[in-house]
Amino acid sequence: MRKLLIAVTIILVLAAGVYAFAGSSEPSRAELIAKGKTYSVHILRDTWGVPHVFGKTDADTAYGLGYAHCEDDMPTIMEALLTSRGKLASIKGKDSAPIDYMVALMRVWPTVNAKYESDLSPETRAVCEAYADGVNHYAALHPSEVPRGVLPITGKDVVAGFVFKAPFFFGVEKAVKELFGDTRRHEVSEKNPAQAARLYLTDDLPVGSNTFAVSPKRSADGSTFININSHQPWEGPVAWYEAHLHSEEGWNAVGGVFPGTPVVLHGHNENLGWAHTVNKPDLVDIFVLEMNPANPNQYKFDGQWRDLEVAKAPITVKLWGPISWTFKREILWSVYGPTVRQKHGVYAIRYAGMGDIRAVEQWYRMDKARNIAEWKDAMRMQAIPSFNCAYADREGNILYVYNARFPKRAEGYDWRKYLPGTTSDTLWTEYLPWDADPRVENPASGFVQNCNSTPFRTTLDPENPKPEDYSATLGIETHMSNRALRAFELLSADPSITEEEFYAYKYDMAYSKDSEIAKMWEKLKAAKSDDALTNEALDVVRKWDLNTNPENTAAAITLLTISPGSDNETQSGDIDEALALLKGNAQALKDHFGKIDVPWSEVNRLHRGKVNVGLGGGPDVLHAVYGFRVSDGKLEGLENGQVHGRAGDCYVLIAAWDKEGKVHSRSIHQYGSATSRPESPHYADQVPLFIARQTKPVWFDEAAIRANLEREYRPGEEIGGTRETPLKSSM
């Protein structure tokens, strides 16, 4: 006990200089509230709790969004903003320290501080600062929901979130993570002028997102449709939240936002809509530096020794209660960019968009674009360094673009490997123009699709991009997910698509006969065993029809054994290990249900508070649901006979413009608008529609909103009721 008391005393003494309670540096609550009252905005909540934010200016509207989102999900917004500050470990503890290290390694804050005034327009800065003021206003009124020492949130916090998150969508964290292994993971490429100019397959695709668009050339009534269907985690800092933003300065967009973002990231306005899916271009490179034996902080570049920039990043970690500990981590920078020193070498990292802070501005311009020319102008900023994009508008235009900020790399190197960090020959400094990205615009087929798949099968030939037209240095994937195969099959087979059929295609629950899972299934069906339980399971597997409808009695045992997108043994050909997994799954189903042929919805579940209901859909189908995976021959995620959805279909938005150019849309969220408020009626009120694969109307004009109004208020004055006088509107 005496040793414990001494240890605690030492920690308290040491910690005295490295933790702080809320102090004088924070503005007063009164100041934050007074600042909030300077904005002119009303929030109209419809009967689903969705906020429609009506502001006089764009800044007023962004302020209202910040406040409204905090009402529904303050904990996640705080987490998102602390992440971008590199201060998450100070609140959440040691497990978040690597995230704070990444913020420092990537120089997020030196970049934002240096470029905030020069690289962002005054309008964008005003939007970001107003959003921060909305968060601050809510925080001042609800101090118990805010960690000590956090306020005020600033516009720079908002921008830093974009700067930090964007590279993670194309894999920068994986590149950094592999450098921390025990050994070097890749060979160093030597320049070979005769190297074959070929594309290479990207296998580690994300779990999914879907988009497809149909023009009047293929719709039954001359309408234009777009499916906006990004697949994200169902909870956390990149989970979708639905909002409608309207100002008297021409901003009128509805769609999905992330916690901490002041603009719609994908959605539609009166004139046009767009969707994103994750793509996997090669936008990250690792370089091996040659270090000076006489000076560990010098590296050779073009025959000369150069000094590394060396700094120490303070990382504060919460221990318990108000006590935290600050340690310092080495941060290095070379001519290539962030640099890491390991026992097996010193490595530099370079990635597309490094040093660019304008992603928020590009999305803001996309929100306000009035036609395809303005939308393209926004895209030409190339501040969003990746994502497939689909586009549709009131004029009947449809477009797919494999959006990527491709570095201009020297030919002859294998850019999949590590590169020599000794020569300017490998130091790329320029990018290909956006108009050079693969694309399909207004095809004669009348449709485009992308479901985390190759751009080379976007529509019917001959209007697809051709692989031979693109350098091997770009790393464009050639993979077709099952979702892409099914979207292609469904859309190409129907020359006259109705709106009802368009919705049905989005909610398709089948696997293509050409999919990887179908090939795995065929192999498993042909397997033989001497074990009675395994043979009983195989009898069920052989009855499967490649579907994931809720009542399907063969989907559970089959999918739990050959889950697509996992590294299970059926893909690698080890059928014995696959049969062992099959037997274990069969026993688990029998233990919990007394049989193997269990309806899929009894196993595949949505769990939200007290709600636990069955689902159709599954991994890599168009109605995507992810709750388990098979890794190293073992099933992960099955608990008490159930797998609980954690990602996949979440916020779905489908927009249509009729032949007169008038827009209407429908949407659904997997839970509801009150993301982290269990006491709210909107915490899980959309679940019944979601599991039935149905949608709700999106009320886009003020009259429709008021006809379906739950409450209206100014931030800080939340009361029920409605107004007799409509707001001023530019619609």
**pLDDT at 301 exceeding the cut of 60:** yes
Q: List Cβ<8 Å contacts ≥24 apart for 167-171.
A: 167/106, 167/283, 167/284, 167/351, 167/352, 167/353, 167/354, 167/385, 169/278, 169/386, 169/387, 170/278, 170/279, 170/280, 170/281, 170/283, 170/284, 170/351, 170/352, 170/385, 170/386, 171/280, 171/283, 171/284
**pLDDT at 398 exceeding the cut of 80:** yes
> Which tens digits make up the pLDDT trace of 656-679?
999 999 999 999 999 999 999 999
* pLDDT category of residue 24 using cuts at 50, 70 and 90: very low
- Tokens for 315, please give them: 């990382």
Output the pLDDT for position 632.
65
* pLDDT category of residue 203 using cuts at 50, 70 and 90: very low
* pLDDT category of residue 575 using cuts at 50, 70 and 90: confident
Average the pLDDT over 420-445 and give the result: 98
> Which tens digits make up the pLDDT trace of 484-513?
999 999 999 999 999 999 999 999 999 999
Output the pLDDT for position 718.
78
- Tokens for 149, please give them: 């020492």
Output the pLDDT for position 402.
98
**pLDDT at 719 exceeding the cut of 60:** no
Output the pLDDT for position 178.
84
**pLDDT at 720 exceeding the cut of 70:** no
> Which tens digits make up the pLDDT trace of 316-364?
999 888 888 999 999 999 999 999 999 999 999 999 999 999 999 999 9
Q: What is the CA radius of gyration of the chain?
A: 27
**pLDDT at 204 exceeding the cut of 60:** no
Q: Give the DSSP letter string of 106-151.
A: TTHHHHHHHHHHHHS-HHHHHHHHHHHHHHHHHHHH-GGGS-TT-P
Range name among 90-94, 123-127, 201-205, 691-695 with the lowest pLDDT average: 201-205
Query: Distance between CA atoms of 543 and 531, rounded to whole angstroms?
Result: 19
Query: Distance between CA atoms of 55 and 713, rounded to whole angstroms?
Result: 12
**pLDDT at 125 exceeding the cut of 80:** yes
* pLDDT category of residue 564 using cuts at 50, 70 and 90: low
Range name among 54-58, 584-588, 633-637 with the lowest pLDDT average: 633-637
Residue pair 665/268 in contact by the 8 Å Cβ criterion: yes
**pLDDT at 414 exceeding the cut of 60:** yes
Count the neighbouring beta carbons within 10 Å of the beta carbon of residue 28.
11
The answer as to CATH 3.30.300.30 being correct for domain 209-282+362-506 is: no
Output the pLDDT for position 87.
95
**pLDDT at 34 exceeding the cut of 50:** yes
Range name among 148-152, 286-290, 419-423 with the lowest pLDDT average: 148-152
> Which tens digits make up the pLDDT trace of 531-543?
999 999 999 999 9
Output the pLDDT for position 13.
37
**pLDDT at 383 exceeding the cut of 80:** yes
User: What value does the mean pLDDT of the chain take?
Assistant: 90
> Which tens digits make up the pLDDT trace of 214-257?
999 999 999 999 999 999 999 999 999 999 999 999 999 999 99
Average the pLDDT over 436-449 and give the result: 98
Task: Show me where the domains of the chain are located.
Answer: 209-282+362-506, 509-621+624-700
The DSSP call for residue 435 is G
- 3-state SS, residue 625: strand
Residue pair 479/453 in contact by the 8 Å Cβ criterion: yes
**pLDDT at 5 exceeding the cut of 50:** no
**pLDDT at 562 exceeding the cut of 60:** yes
Residue pair 483/474 in contact by the 8 Å Cβ criterion: no
* pLDDT category of residue 179 using cuts at 50, 70 and 90: confident
Q: What angle do CA 167, 170, 171 make, to 5 degrees?
A: 85
Range name among 7-21, 251-265, 558-572 with the lowest pLDDT average: 7-21
Query: Distance between CA atoms of 61 and 77, rounded to whole angstroms?
Result: 18
Q: Which amino acid is at 58?
A: D
Output the pLDDT for position 27.
87
Output the pLDDT for position 631.
66
**pLDDT at 729 exceeding the cut of 80:** no
Residue pair 351/406 in contact by the 8 Å Cβ criterion: no
**pLDDT at 429 exceeding the cut of 50:** yes
Q: Percent of the chain scored above 90 by pLDDT?
A: 83
**pLDDT at 568 exceeding the cut of 80:** no
